[in-house]
A and B are shown apart, each in its own frame.
Chain A
Amino acid sequence: MKPQSYELHMLLSETPGDEMKDVIIGLEVHVQLNKLRSKLFCSCSTQYHDSEPNMCTCPVCLGLPGALPVINEKAVDSAIKVALALNCNIEEQIMFYRKNYYYPDLVKGFQISQYDYPIAMDGKISIEADGEREIRIKRVHMEEDPGRLIHVGTIDRSRYSLIDYNRSGVALLEVVTEPDLRTPKEARLFLNKLRNILEYLDVFDGSLEGSLRVDANISLAGGARAEIKNISSYKGVEKALLFETVRQKNLVRRGIRVAQETRHYDEVRGITISLRTKEEEKDYRYFPEPDLVPLRIGDRVDDIKRALPELPDAKRQRLVKQYDISDHHAKVLTSELKLANFFERVATKVDANLSATWIADVLKGELNYRGIGIDAFSPEHMIQILQMLKNDKITEKGAVQVIRTILDEGGAPPEIVKRKGLLKIEESIITRAVAEVIKENPAAVKDYHDGKNEALHFLMGQVMKKTHGRADPSMVSKLLKEKL
């Protein structure tokens, strides 16, 4: 954890965090359609993350005079897919507009975006905050990504900027919510859900740097609204909103009016700062992009709808029904498509409930602890581990140890069990150890008979010591009680 900035610390310390009922939040989420091979209006690759600066550009995405855009058909289809998954109404005819403003990351002095006739409107998705909440989607539209500005120093102190246009022209989808979110946490839950859906649709890889950026509008009921621009991480959104909530509340408490303004989130310092340099909405001079023609998309919607994959909510319900697992487990398992697929692979080979518990609770926990994804673990290994567990070959503790070893050192379960001596030992060996321990510790045995329960723990410890921890504790306890 980074230490909190002094400002943030002061703000948080003087405010109780529970009075958030009157907070109104709306999000404009920009996601890169980074599963596309090429950019939105040119054939440059979207795989620029490992490239040197300005190695993935062409006359079109560099905005050279005379270059013309041509729409990537798959980008439109991907956008329709997302809009359908967000339960939106798809428009019959869509158009691209020029949004005119200046900024050094923008190659043409305008961004090709959508205005009237966007791809879709009026959708909704549900999130699970304190109970299920429906968040309305106002509109979904497509636009091109600007380049990347590198401030030499921080944004408000830098002497010059460096610009890399590799990102310029990558297809972005902007998802705009109605102001239905009530807490910074809800904003985070919404983003998680959105990411979840996008990944299910195979249009988005959220692990890539800069793949998601959020503008957040936040106000207190009755107050002016601040727009926090360009927050570029999931955690950042919650933090920025938390900061902003507290800032606005403190202003109100001191009797100062909250100004309607654009603010910038400083990720490093964890604060928002006022930043009024760009045009306002009324200055954008939208007009239809004359280098592109309108698109009639009505007749392709049905085909796309038919081909939609199972989405998270539906999958969650199916897992509960089909595998008879708990809703909680189903929720965790469907929070990532890969995790759900992993589960189903394992659950067809070993007991589904056992699989759910071990994947959702144990494996997921170990992965989260290490900050890695499910890709790091093979479902075959999980099947082997659970089979050994089921067949009483290893203890639960041993199973956890196998999982940790695979994650930390690599290797395969049978080999690890052998190398680390994790094979559960036979009952006869435990019986012998129990007899020995009873014989060697008459005082403890007496204590036990006198009703001192700790004595049993002591005796169990002695048995475990003799069996080098490979005995199943429940078995030890059972045998001890019998013999005593």
Chain B
Amino acid sequence: MITKKDVEHIGWLARIELTEEEKEKFTKQLNSILDYFEKLDEIETDAAPMHHVFGLTNVFRDDVAKKSMSQEDALQNAPKKEKGCFKGPRIV
């Protein structure tokens, strides 16, 4: 069972502010979906977890530096910018 308090904590971790109404609703819905996920508890397995469908390993790139984007391209979508930087909110 997950509680409204759990939902609040998850909302904080996910940085999504939730209204009271949303908290109630999601608590209910999440519980019914998590109940469904319990299906996996039925199965005991020592199969290796899948990390790539074909077990691919060792995909690398050479240490070669290539041209970067222009500052203009980098900042093109920034809602707020200043002095060539992205402008962010205050930290504390």
Judging by beta carbons under 8 Å apart, are B84 and A295 in contact? no
A48: nearest chain-B partner, CB-CB? B68
- Besides the known contacts A70-B60, A161-B87, 14 further A-B residue pairs in the complex with CB atoms under 8 A apart: A38-B64, A43-B64, A43-B66, A55-B74, A56-B68, A58-B68, A71-B59, A71-B61, A73-B63, A104-B91, A161-B91, A163-B86, A293-B57, A294-B57
Stretch at the interface among A148-156, A364-372, A431-439, A444-452: A148-156
Interface size class of B (residues with CB under 8 A): 20 to 34
Given known A45-B68, A102-B15, A104-B91, contact A54–B60 (CB-CB < 8 A):
no
- B88 touches which of A37, A71, A161 (Cβ 8 Å): A161
Q: A62 near B: Cβ within 8 Å?
A: yes
Complex CA–CA separation, A56 to B61 (angstroms): 18
Q: Are A54 and B90 in contact (CB under 8 A)?
A: no
Asked if B62 is at the interface of the complex by the 8 Å CB criterion, the answer is: yes
Q: Are A70 and B61 in contact (CB under 8 A)?
A: yes
Q: Can you list 13 pairs linking A and B with CB atoms under 8 Å apart?
A: A44-B65, A52-B84, A53-B85, A57-B69, A58-B69, A71-B61, A72-B62, A73-B61, A95-B51, A158-B91, A163-B88, A294-B51, A295-B58
Q: What is the bound-complex CA distance between A327 and B75, given in angstroms? A: 55
The answer on a CB contact under 8 Å between A75 and B75 is no
CB distance from B67 to the nearest CB of A (A): 8
* Interfacial residues, chain B to chain A (CB-CB below 8 A): 13, 15, 51-52, 56-66, 68-71, 74-75, 82-92
Q: Determine whether A481 belongs to the interface, using a CB cutoff of 8 Å to chain B.
A: no
Any B CB within 8 A of the CB of A46: yes
Please tell me if the beta carbons of A162 and B74 are within 8 angstroms of each other in the complex: no
Q: Which residue on chain B has the smallest CB distance to residue A71?
A: B60
Shortest C-beta distance, B14 to chain A (Å), equals: 9
Measured between beta carbons, the chain A residues less than 8 angstroms from B69 are: 57-59, 62
Cα-based distance from A283 to B60 in the complex (angstroms): 30
Check A54 against B57 for contact (C-beta < 8 Å).
Answer: no
- Once A37-B65, A72-B63, A295-B57 are accepted as A-B contacts, the answer to whether A160 and B88 lie under 8 Å apart by CB is yes
The answer to whether B52 touches A293, judged by C-beta atoms less than 8 angstroms apart, is yes
B82 to chain A, nearest CB (A): 6
Least CB separation from A35: chain B residue: B63
Within 8 Å of chain B (Cβ to Cβ): is A159? Answer: yes
Contact with B along A44-83 (1 / 0, CB 8 A): 1111000011111111001000000011111110000000
Known: A45-B68, A52-B84. A275 touches B92 (CB 8 A): yes
**Given A95-B51, A160-B90, A163-B85, residue A44 in contact with residue B60 (CB < 8 A):** no
Q: With A73-B60, A155-B91, A295-B57 as known contacts, state yes or no: A55 contacts B66, CB within 8 Å.
A: no
User: What are the residues of chain B within 8 A of A160 when measuring CB–CB?
Assistant: 87-90
Asked if B58 and A162 sit within 8 Å, CB to CB, the answer is: no
Checking B59, B62, B75, B88 against A54 with a beta-carbon cut-off of 8 angstroms, the contacting residue is B75
Contacts A36-B63, A38-B63 given; indicate if A164 touches B92 (C-beta within 8 A).
Answer: no
Are B87 and A162 neighbours in the complex by a CB distance under 8 Å? yes
A295 to B60, CA, bound (A): 9
Residues of B within 8 Å of A343, CB to CB, are: none
Q: Is the CB of B62 within 8 A of A55?
A: no
Residues of chain B within 8 A (CB-CB) of A155 are: 91-92
Instruction: For residue A407, give the distance in angstroms from its CB to the closest CB of chain B.
Output: 35
A53 x B91 contact (CB < 8 A): no
Complex alpha-carbon distance, A295 and B87, angstroms:
37
In the assembled complex, the Cα of A38 lies from the Cα of B65 at a distance in Å of 5
> Of residues 1 to 59 in A, which have CB atoms within 8 Å of B's CB atoms?
36-38, 43-47, 52-59
- Shortest C-beta distance, A411 to chain B (Å), equals 38
A45 cross-chain contacts in B, Cβ below 8 A: 65, 68
Beta-carbon contact of B13 and A285 below 8 Å: yes
**Contact residue among A55, A71, A275 (Cβ-Cβ distance under 8 Å from B68):** A55
